[in-house]
Structure 1
């Protein structure tokens, strides 16, 4: 099969699409013919040598496609089914991929939209679970308009929470459409949030990592009520929980997201798609920081 690989660390130019051995599923896993694979910031962090030291490396944590091989004990899907999920080995940007966790693609979604779901949905669900967000909670999401932030907004709204979201002026209407109360980020954000919630918020989620953890702690009434997904150093300095998959992933979210999608209560924007052979261009687009929505590679 053809898949993305790099044999040295560096910029997008180190990425290659090469022949790789066909993978096969283990017990409880499925193999798919990949139709679309998500691109995430972790991809360029890996490519730059910031996450894993070994070489060579493949890329891709999430994909959507058609089941073409079943692992031992798999009885919940059949050959030919459309599924999306997480790669077992971080090698989803390829013609074939083994999924360790998967769910049926919602009927209304195509492969690109389905491939955009797993990482954002899992990350947002994990953070909301850690914060204990539920009906009646008031949640502040810092950086609410990106893929993970907008997923967190919609999941929190769906469970009955009140959500206040920070974003730039161009995304205020988008946040309204998701059910959040938008406020502009930047200087004066605390005052703008308190204008909506004079007593502060119950919990706060930092997706942007833009150095506002002290402000979030003040608004939420303590570091124990704040989770960050993006500020490792700030979390250490201020005693805030940094959420990562190392402590357990919320893979249960995959099974439930289809119901919300089909009810019209959840969607993620696909900003751009690229052929697999243009994976370097996808990295460049993501790293420039001006993409609104998910980047997805099209395979086959």
Structure 2
């Protein structure tokens, strides 16, 4: 089968397309024919040797976590899905991966039925970003309809799905992004838009109940300033120090929380995201689809930032993708 393998953790250029043996599912796994795979920052971060603690397997290694495809064979100890069933999901982290290939193996707690209304390209854009947005808003952020919610990097993978979830909840939604994304975010349901290139959000936004911070750095510090007393920031890039958390609580009366999709994702969250998609509450947006042979281009594009929605990789070229 075709696969993209990382030979050395010294850059995206170390990714090569190769012909490798098809994996064999263990008794508690499914063999999935991959129709599409989603692109996430972790793919290029690990390729560049960053976050080495997440790579717990020897090189060469097949990266990629978000998968949409069709079950091809079933291990002896699993029975929820049968050959021919369309599924999607995320290979467990750390390690794992394997999405950038014609076939991959996934355990029963990594996959769910693919939402019928989505193509495989769209479904592959959901697992990591959708679970992150859902968990950050509902599990960590306790969002409700009476709140003002600020989403940073609102046009990105996590942000554009968080906007839709928050809007469905009935919250007043504020999104930050570059000016050319305003129409896109208005379509998704933002009530207020802040062009971060022309204005500082802390100068035009206040009395926020919940901030979803997908940027980090000084954005976290500035976000604390716009929260009302008792508000919450859920930050995604890296966990703040306990000293910083304590300082924000003591000085501003706010709660800063960290959500890590790498360790805190779960199949129940994926099923809840799928149910919201089936109900028409949220829909992923895929800005471009690359072929497997263009994987380096796809990761370079992702690493460059400013992707609207998500990028996907198509592996079958079928009409249903």
TM-score (normalizing by structure 1): 0.89
Match of 1:203, SS?
strand
Residue by residue, what CA displacement relative to the aligned partner does 1:221-276 show, whole Å, maximum 9, x if unpaired?
469711111255x6667323332135421432321333333343211211111111
Distance change in 2, residues 1:298/1:188 (3 Å)? closer
- Confirm whether residue 184 of structure 1 aligns to residue 195 of structure 2: yes
3-state DSSP of counterpart to 1:202? strand
3-state SS in 2 of match to 1:163:
strand
The alpha-carbon distance between structure 1 residues 264 and 246, as it changes in their structure 2 partners (threshold 3 A), is closer
1:298 aligns with 2:314: yes
Q: What residue is the counterpart of 1:197 in the other structure?
A: none
Q: What is the match of residue 202 of structure 1?
A: 209
Task: Tell me if 1:151 matches 2:167.
Answer: no
Distance 1:50 1:222, change over 3 A: farther
RMSD over aligned CA atoms reads: 2.3
Q: 1:12 to 1:188 in 2, by over 3 A?
A: closer
Q: Indicate yes or no: 2:293 matched with 1:277.
A: yes
> CA contact under 8 A between 1:61 and 1:91: conserved in structure 2?
yes
The offset of 1:178, in angstroms, is: 1.5
| Shift in Å, 1:108 | 1.9
Once residues 86 and 168 of structure 1 are traced to their aligned partners in structure 2, the CA distance between those partners, rounded to angstroms, is: 29
Question: Which of structure 1's runs of 4+ aligned residues deviate more than 6 A?
Answer: none
Give 2:14's aligned residue: 14
Compare 252-261 and 164-173 and name the one that shifted more: 252-261
Is contact 2:152–2:212 with CA below 8 Å preserved after alignment?
A: yes
Q: Give ranges in structure 1 of 5+ residues lacking alignment.
A: 195-199
Secondary structure of 2:205's counterpart equals helix
Contact 1:235 1:242 in 2 (8 A): no
Q: Secondary structure at the match of 2:59?
A: coil
1:238 to 221, 244, 248: 244
Say whether 1:42 aligns with 2:52.
no
Q: For residue 225 of structure 2, what is the aligned residue in structure 1? A: 218
Contact in 1 for aligned 2:134/2:273 (Cα 8 Å)? no
Displacement of 1:28 in angstroms is: 4.5
Q: Is the 8 A contact 2:112 2:267 kept in 1?
A: no
Q: Does 1:228 align with 2:235?
A: yes
- CA contact 2:160–2:309 (8 Å) conserved in 1: no
Equivalent residues, number: 294
Name structure 2 gaps, 5 residues minimum.
Answer: 246-255, 317-321
Which one of 99, 102, 118 corresponds to residue 109 of structure 1?
118
Distance verdict in 2 for CA 1:226–1:188, change over 3 Å: same
Distance 1:41 1:258 in 2: 22
Kept in 2, the 8 Å contact 1:126–1:250? The answer is no
Cα separation, 2, equivalents of 1:180 and 1:42: 27
Q: Say which of 112, 126, 141 aligns to 1:131.
A: 141
1:56 partnered with 2:66: no
3-state SS of the aligned residue for 1:23? coil
SS in 2 for 1:255: helix
Cα 1:72–1:220 shift into 2, 3 Å = farther
